[in-house]
Structure 1
Amino acid sequence: MKDRLKTYTPHIYATVFGLVLLTGMGGYMVYEGQSAEITVIEMEGAPNDIVFIADPHLKSGNLAFMSSVAEEINALNASVVLIGGDFVTSDEDDLSYQNVWAEIDAPVYAVLGNHDYKAGVHGLNGPAKMLAMQEADLSVDGYDVSMLQDDPLIDLAYGADVAAALEGAGVRVMQNEYELLNLDGTELMLVGVDDAWAGRADPPEVPETDAFTIYMIHEPGARADWDADLILSGHLHGGQFSAPGLEVIKDLGIVDIQGFCNQGETPAFITRGIGSSSMIEQDLRFGTPPEIVVINPSVPIDGADVMRA
């Protein structure tokens, strides 16, 4: 009996250690999923205090965190707030959660993402969307992603319900539209392109202007080299779980995951997002904390990661 205990004891210790490690790792991933960092982008000519977030994926488990994000945005004295899509995770999410955006004091503009149309969220449907994007025309003059509409899993009615819930919370949902804004004396031409994975992206004809121009589109891989000063996207969550090699892949120009993109002529920035599409009620992240982006803050922000475009 003693010999058997001697044999099993190291395995028991290893098992207990492994369980403690996994529990601790899981707890850390939940913690990081609710610990937003601020990234400052300094761009000449851009209006001050533009705040950009994406991918809230609202659900019961992160609703309190999103409310705290709204409070933080208010503390930043945002001139305008831009949200880059994926407001929901699944069709089981309560759309009344979107009322959290009414807590933001500044005007809020948004585009929808693939989750908001249930596009590419079922099993292998996501990889299928990436393959279908190979057939898309992403040139400025011939832009066409209509082939991605050929998907019976897309739910345009649900997308309309999400948009209605957002509008009810005071969010201006832009679906292939533009609007000229005046932010404290500086003009911003804001262009919102609808979701590409749902085949809905159809960039509008934008009049020539001297205004600083921002395009928003959810999937960064669906952008074109539009005549813009900046393109803002989300979708990728910064990888959500950092792993060795991700930054190397980005630096080699193979794929852009977060931050400023290496590909394309028009400056483009991919945010890590503010939520995640975890299949549990809690957001999980590791090495890629949630991100609030502030363009040209009028007051320095302590602890922010500053990038200059």
Structure 2
Amino acid sequence: MTLKAPSTRHLALFMLILLPSMTGYMAWEARAVDVTVLTIDGAPEGIVYITDPHVGPSNIDHVQEVIREINRLNPSLVLIGGDFTTGEESNFAHQAVWQSLDAPAYAVLGNHDYRVGTDSATGIGRILAVRTSANATAAGYDISALNDGSADTAFADGLAATLEENGVHVLRNDYARVSAGGEEIVIVGVDDGWAGMADPPDVPATGAFTVYLIHEPSCRADWDADLILAGHTHGGQFLLPVIAQLNGLGVIELAGLFETNGTPTYVSRGICSAGIAGVDLRFNCRPEIVLINPTEEQLRTLGDSA
């Protein structure tokens, strides 16, 4: 028996049937949030980390649901890794959503919050600039070459002020010493690298657990940190098998736990995406809430929702 190859017409019909189903699935996955449990030696209990909310009218209900889930976990502290905006806003009215958080929150800004590198062409330019023009070592950290005047600092300043009004403390090359889970923690917030604004502060020596927040993982350095938290990548957003394998091998760093010079870095998949034609889509790459060293109560809460 001879098998005939499918005709162009049949392939086109198949794609017409498949495409809406795949798009529907990817839209569903973009709203199906995982809680990722991260165990880090020495870290205080019960800290939640999220990043890349990109809050806007199309996803405000999703962000509200994420906040409800965070509150249900009753964290000791919430850390947020930047990209609060899409960069296309005329005002920051939707950032009022953060008033609903029931725990202290500290954050850094991301590239969308400075309106830089928000499309493919300029994003690639920033990636190359980090590799060729920046010194991303702790001793001589200098990323000012990326500060080419394109960063919208007025937009970032307005956003930071709005976040502060809504209960989110924004660290722009600054640090804070706070209590979390009954222990002291030092939070070092490094301003956005792609905007050329990253200028890590001098942090006094302390025995407290020290976590650095930076938006782009490629802009981190070998700081004297116990943990570095980053975002920006959305986990790849469409994590095809070959890309997932390269990420698992550490050839690329899109999502998960990586170790450089003995310091663990967690790159989060984020909670939202910048969106395609106004719709968040993901494949094999669900949004996530990262829960660091969960308490027994939090583990029970997760168990109740399993």
TM-score (norm 2): 0.92
Partner letter of residue 136 of structure 1?
A
Tell me the distance in 1 between the aligned counterparts of 2:198 and 2:59: 29
2:74 aligned residue: 77
Q: How far does residue 46 in structure 1 lie from its aligned partner after superposition?
A: 1.1
2:303 aligned residue: 302
- 1:93–1:302: structure 2 CA closer, same or farther, 3 Å change rule? farther
2:51 aligned residue: 54
Residue ranges of structure 1 left out of the alignment (5+ in a row): 1-8
1:139 aligned residue: 137
Tell me the distance in 2 between the aligned counterparts of 1:218 and 1:56: 12
Match of 1:173 among 159, 170, 173: 170
Match of 1:108 among 105, 109, 118: 105
Q: Is the 8 A contact 1:87 1:115 kept in 2?
A: yes
Tell me the distance in 2 between the aligned counterparts of 1:303 and 1:13: 47
SS at match of 1:182: strand
2:3 aligned residue: none
Q: How far does residue 139 in structure 1 lie from its aligned partner after superposition?
A: 1.2
Q: Is the 8 A contact 2:46 2:181 kept in 1?
A: no
Q: How far does residue 225 in structure 1 lie from its aligned partner after superposition?
A: 1.1
2:223 aligned residue: 226
Residue ranges of structure 2 left out of the alignment (5+ in a row): 1-5
Tell me the distance in 2 between the aligned counterparts of 1:130 and 1:304: 40
Equivalent positions of 1:246-265 (< 5 A) are: 246-265=243-262
1:245 aligned residue: 242
Partner letter of residue 214 of structure 2?
I
2:232 aligned residue: 235
2:289 equivalent to 1:292? yes
Q: Is the 8 A contact 2:87 2:114 kept in 1?
A: no
Tell me the distance in 1 between the aligned counterparts of 2:74 and 2:197: 33
Q: Is the 8 A contact 2:222 2:260 kept in 1?
A: no
RMSD: 1.9
Q: How far does residue 20 in structure 1 lie from its aligned partner after superposition?
A: 1.9
Tell me the distance in 2 between the aligned counterparts of 1:229 and 1:110: 18
Tell me the distance in 2 between the aligned counterparts of 1:17 and 1:249: 31
TM-score (norm 1): 0.91
Q: Is the 8 A contact 1:59 1:281 kept in 2?
A: no
Partner letter of residue 111 of structure 1?
V
Q: Is the 8 A contact 2:47 2:180 kept in 1?
A: no
Partner letter of residue 47 of structure 2?
I
Tell me the distance in 1 between the aligned counterparts of 2:304 and 2:11: 39
Q: How far does residue 123 in structure 1 lie from its aligned partner after superposition?
A: 4.6
1:3 aligned residue: none
The count of aligned residue pairs is 296
Q: Is the 8 A contact 2:81 2:109 kept in 1?
A: yes
Q: How far does residue 302 in structure 1 lie from its aligned partner after superposition?
A: 2.8
Q: How far does residue 115 in structure 1 lie from its aligned partner after superposition?
A: 0.5
Equivalent positions of 1:146-185 (< 5 A) are: 146-150=144-148, 152-185=149-182
Tell me the distance in 1 between the aligned counterparts of 2:304 and 2:221: 33
2:115 equivalent to 1:118? yes
Partner letter of residue 146 of structure 2?
L
Tell me the distance in 2 between the aligned counterparts of 1:293 and 1:200: 26
- 1:94–1:283: structure 2 CA closer, same or farther, 3 Å change rule? farther
